[in-house]
Amino acid sequence: MSNKSENAMVNLTIDGQDVQIEAGATIIVAAEKLGIKIPTMCYLKKVSTTGACRVCLVDVEGVDTPVTACNTVATDGIVVTTSTPELEKQRKDMIRLMLVNHPLDCPVCDAAGECDLQDICFDYHVLDQPFTAEDVAVAKITDWPLIENVPSRCVLCEKCVKVGYELTGIGDFRVVERGDKAYIGRKDSNQIDPYIEGNAVAVCPVGAMISKPFKHSARSWTLDKVASIGFAGGSLEQVDLNVKNNKLYRITSQDDVTINDGLLSFDSSFGYGFVNSTERLLAPMVNQGAVEWSEALKTVVAKAKELGGEAIAGLSSARLTVEENYLFQKLFRAGFKSNNLDSEARFGMQRSSEQLSKVLGLRGASAGIEQIAAADAVLVFGSDITSEQPQINYQIQKACRQNDAQLLVVNMRQVRIAEQSNCFLNYVPGSEAALAGALTKLIVENGQAADAFLKKYVKNTADIKKSLAKVNVEKVAKAAGVSVELLKEVAVALGEASSVALVFGGDVTKSAQCVETTQALANLAMVSGALGGDAGGLFPADEKPNMQGLLDVGVCPESLPGYQDYAKGSAKFAQAWGVAALPEGGMNAEQVLAAIEAGTIKFLYLAGTNPLVTFPESGRWKAALKKVEFLVVQDILSSELTELADVVLPAAAYSEKSGTYISCDNRSGLLQKAICPAGEAQSDKQIFAQLLEGMLGKSQSLCNQTILEELAGLTDLFTEVGVSGETYLSSCVKQGYAPAAAALTFSACAAATPTKGLQLISGKMHAHTGVTSTYAAGALEIAPEGYIEISVADADKAGIADGAQVSVKSAVGSASGVARISGYVPQGILFAPYHFAGLNIQQVVPTGQNTVAVEISKG
Amino acid sequence: MIKEFIQGLSITAKHLLPGHTTTVEYPKQKLEIAERFRGLHRLVPDHDREKCVACGLCPTVCPAKCITVEAGEDENGVKYPKVYQIDMLRCIFCGYCVEACPVEAIEMTGEYELASYKREDFCFTKERLLK
């Protein structure tokens, strides 16, 4: 199936109605176009047809026997009849055969109420069973994590298998045995970070695939579905929050609405449990004692007034909405008179974003992520994309499967997507920028550079040759630990492709070489022509849902909302906010940490962020937070952090508030409030607004639209503000990206600075996101605690056994946890997920890095 | 005319005689209830536990929304009602729950003396309904 096929059309007649469809389409698609419903059990539009259930039988004139509508390609002039007494009888028999040994346990089956088999039996009045067969179904499989399989209920439609193979690409279900003994089994996969295909539960037409976290908790028909967006990964998948009695029960999605087409990330499928956690903060606290909201807020306001803006700093989060982050920076700048505000983005995406803006004039991705699916080659650079942004992975899978695209993966570890790549470059930390430079050089040398694009858009075309001349491909390959041949192969694949999608992620944005690598990737994007055209593009990926929105509203000391220079724009904002002037100066997160240590910052406000676990040098942050005179923590869950706080403000979780998230590709999505906040918790927006009122004595609107309009009036971020859409709601439209003529800069190529010795990488694992997921039972079932992945060779050398307690020590700190021997990290590399407070690997990692030289020892 | 008058009064008088009153002197005297009378619910036991599988059809069909069912799973992987509760103050004794039950796990007894002094007493838990 190629998207380049000619759009020839065929005409056919179905039940007396004429219809025209594209050549190659099946009868069922044509019928759907006419609004004729052909019953089926195994047909799923988004995967290849199976033709297993035989329920969709139709008559075609001139053909002796009925044919299956789902996988029979319509040919010109055929006359189809979808319903005759004989067909109905045959269909009914097919259903009876499916029911032969199907247990009639609908009362205890979670699928009841949304079961296709139930529906079809009802529609066809299947009330009797003339057939008998020996029941050879295997027993219920309960030892898989998160999913329970009931083979006796299975109709072998293979949807679960196909979703995993064709759409997410990483699912591991398969059909085992044959004939009547066939059932769905699971391949042995990654034991350390196993992937469970949550979408299998959603596509299962019966109750064979059951989600364990949801099992038996509610009947499907009692749940209200509230359309919202996903809480993890910067791609904003469409979700329906299934709620009842003010509790979130599960998350589902709908097909054909937006780019995710009903596919959910692991987090939405299983990781939502933190919303209902017993660890939720329920009441405001001052000095660890529960108080009224008014008193807590009064305490904060009084302290802020007493200490003055100079002594106040705040850190926000990409989990908060655009409106909330806008109010956060407004509260700080106009209310607290402090420009000491920052976020976790400082150690990651912020730096990349600055570079992309500098050299390409680009903020976020250059195009919508659906353009990845249309690309001829996809380069995934320094990103565990299946974990970081599953929706981008789905687009990559589409590109590979529907467009036969080349998949090229460049990573330090054998990440999940590397298994499917055409070429995999396993590089040594510190060589990423040089590697991108070498690829750029090879493309230019091969004469495959997008010369027309470079000539039109790049202002320093003359520098391209000059800076590439300094690159020595052989040297780079040696330093990076990859073979020159493989490097050349990747370059050829990129050069030959007519459109290239370049995806990079946390291993680039959080690395010490972030600036150089981002510039090198921008060069590569220009040379490979990724920035022009309607396929491919440059896509920075981040695991946080609103990373782009956080950057857009200027939660950093150097810029105001809409990336306006702080010093230049402050007069305009001061006037709009009705204050005399905005404070001067301002400290970023690193400087705030130093200032707390020096004692000049006495008041720290943490909104939805936990430096004790997620920030590099978390040990240093811990000492600083203990020292700070007044610590305000606004969060949803209690932790070590809230225990340190002087004031705790309980915030509403993501299903309990509304607001805008902006995806990595600049789409907006509207979060909908599905349930009331837990206990006395209030939305972050409400809290900021009340504090702002306390500081300024002026009322602050809570209306999302009003806040967005205020933001739009002060910036040129949006072309339109207003809610649109039904199932997927969008609250604003952002400016699209189009490079201006002679506006792009080709940067100098950086040399490789490969690291020596054992290196530890901290990063995201697929089941967890941030720290919140460590409060979700579903995510904990995959990984209950942190671990340190170590290669067999390194483990042998250090005499470490799988599961042994080890400690790692770097120049900035040490951490200890369980060692897991793994084939996914090469020799010389250790990997540890950063989510866990117990392991707290970030203690070991210096600021501005994600890799660090360590020593490992037993115990 | 007098004759008719006396005739009429004698019928009245007859009713005044002991043994002829239509009043049922409840609670000293109780009527025998009909076989299909719809009184207090009973959860049907099945060996050592209730027959109910917590399918949720009775709370779905209940017009008064007085049934609360929370499903759980026992150590053998069998679904059972962790919580089964009927708020008798809201119940209208329509019997739809009995009709809806796919496993005949709930029935209605002849018990109609349900008055109590405390509101909480009207909340019939699984244990009480199993008696």
Structure tokens at A457: 């858009």
* Domain total in chain A: 5
pLDDT by 10-residue block (mean), chain A, 859 residues = 62 95 94 95 94 94 94 94 95 95 93 96 94 92 94 95 94 91 87 90 96 95 95 92 96 93 94 95 96 97 95 96 97 96 95 96 94 96 95 96 95 94 95 95 94 93 91 94 96 95 96 95 94 92 95 96 95 95 94 96 96 96 96 96 97 96 95 96 97 95 96 95 91 91 92 91 94 95 95 94 95 95 94 95 95 93
Distance from CA of A219 to the nearest CA of B (A): 7
Distance from CA of B80 to the nearest CA of A (A): 9
Does residue A42 fall inside a structural domain?
Answer: yes
In the listed set A493, A509, A535, which residue is the last one of a domain according to the structure? A535
Nearest CA in chain A to B55: A107
* pLDDT: which is higher, A749 or B20: A749
- Indicate if A565 and A472 belong to the same structural domain: no
- CA-CA distance, A202 to A242, in Å (whole number)? 13
Helices (H) and strands (E) in chain B, counts: 4, 7
- Indicate if A150 and A219 belong to the same structural domain: yes
pLDDT confidence of residue A2: 42
CATH of domain B23-130: 3.30.70.3270
Structure tokens at A110: 């979670």
Calculate the CA B111 to chain-centre distance: 5
Distance from CA of A272 to the nearest CA of B (A): 20
Contact A221 B79 (CB under 8 A): no
Return the CATH number at A60. Answer: 3.10.20.740
Contacts with A112 from chain B: Cβ below 8 Å? 55
Any idea what DSSP says for residue A334? I
Does residue A669 fall inside a structural domain?
Answer: yes
Structure tokens at A450: 């997008």
- Indicate if A229 and A265 belong to the same structural domain: yes
Phi, psi values for residue A193, rounded to 5°: -130, 65
Instruction: Specify the 3-state DSSP secondary structure of A24.
Output: coil
pLDDT at B1 over 90: no
Return the CATH number at A847. Answer: 2.40.40.20
pLDDT confidence of residue B48: 84
Does residue A572 fall inside a structural domain?
Answer: yes
Sketch the domain layout of chain B as residue ranges: 23-130
- Indicate if A236 and A124 belong to the same structural domain: yes
CA proximity to B96, closest of B64, B129, B58, B124? B58
> Which secondary-structure segment (H or E) carries A383?
none
pLDDT confidence of residue A528: 93
CA proximity to A503, closest of A489, A524, A533? A524
- Cβ pair A145, A155 in contact under 8 A: no
Burial class (CB in 10 A: 0-12, 13-18, 19+), A828: middle
Q: Which residues pair with A821 in a beta bridge?
A: A790
Q: Which amino acid is at A840?
A: N
Q: Which residues pair with A447 in a beta bridge?
A: none
Return the CATH number at A508. Answer: 3.40.228.10
pLDDT confidence of residue B21: 78
Buried b (16+ CB within 10 A) or exposed e, A109-145: bbbbbbbbbbebbeebebeeeeeeeeeebbeebeeee
**DSSP alpha helix (H) spans, A497-553:** 506-509, 514-527, 547-552
Nearest CA in chain B to A140: B77
pTM for the structure as a whole? 0.93
pLDDT confidence of residue A6: 54
Structure tokens at B36: 């299909």
Which of A108, A140, A219 comes nearest B53 by C-beta?
A: A108
- Indicate if A607 and A700 belong to the same structural domain: yes
- CA-CA distance, A335 to A338, in Å (whole number)? 8
Calculate the CA B11 to chain-centre distance: 38
Q: Which domain holds residue A830?
A: 759-858
Helices (H) and strands (E) in chain A, counts: 29, 37
Indicate which of A219, A220, A222, A247 best probes the interface with B, i.e. most B CBs within 10 Å of its own CB: A219
- Indicate if A671 and A786 belong to the same structural domain: no
In the listed set A488, A506, A535, which residue is the last one of a domain according to the structure? A535
- Indicate if A335 and A373 belong to the same structural domain: no
- Indicate if A242 and A150 belong to the same structural domain: yes
In the listed set A75, A99, A123, which residue is the last one of a domain according to the structure? A99
Residue-wise pLDDT tens digits, B65-96: 999 999 999 998 899 999 999 999 999 999 99
Structure tokens at A307: 């200490």
Instruction: Specify the 3-state DSSP secondary structure of A452.
Output: helix
Count of residues making up chain A: 859
- CA-CA distance, A564 to A47, in Å (whole number)? 46
Does residue A38 fall inside a structural domain?
Answer: yes
- Indicate if A114 and A145 belong to the same structural domain: yes
- Indicate if A91 and A154 belong to the same structural domain: no
- CA-CA distance, A853 to A845, in Å (whole number)? 9
ipTM: 0.85
